[in-house]
Amino acid sequence: MSPPSDLYAPILSEPFRFDELGYARSYPLDFKYVDFYDISIRSDLGLPEGPGFSGKLLLELLHADSVIEQTTVVRPSATVFCPDGGNVCEAILHTVALPLAGRYQSGVYLRITVVDADKRLRGEDGDTLLNVSVSGIP
């Protein structure tokens, strides 16, 4: 049996200001499949050289108003190269199992706050995205 055709389609793909200290946004995570999901920075134009991200982010996963999981990210856990093989297109920040804590099927939110900005990632032009999708890493 083959996986569903939309398995790796992002459940979130939005421009984000990684370059602005204190910038924060909350997003509902309306997931379709029980799986591991990567929270990442993505740019089809390629990310800056090095680890792809050199700031500091606070990631909070919430249900209703309660923080269920919280982590501080200072470097990506993995990077993914663009199809041309030359640049890094994605920097994976954190991987989370959904449903959250094995029980929260709906009402799950991701809140992300820039604690230390990465001035190399300018999000106002829309090419630097916050992305959440099923993990392609087994």
pLDDT tens digits for range 63-86: 988 999 999 999 888 888 877 777
Distances (CA, A) of 52 to 46, 56, 74: 9, 12, 11
pLDDT at 117: 93
Which residues lie closer than 8 Å to 48 by C-beta, 6 or more apart? 54, 118, 120, 121
- Is residue 9 in some structural domain? no
Confidence label for 124 from pLDDT (cuts 50, 70 and 90): low
Domain membership of residue 68 as a residue range:
25-134
* 3-class SS of residue 97: strand
CATH code where residue 128 lies: 2.60.120
Integer Cα distance of 37 and 34 in angstroms: 9
pTM exceeding the 0.75 threshold for the entire prediction: yes
- Is residue 16 in some structural domain? no
Closest CA to 41 of 66, 19, 26, 60: 19
As a whole number, the mean pLDDT across the chain is: 89
How many domains in the chain? 1
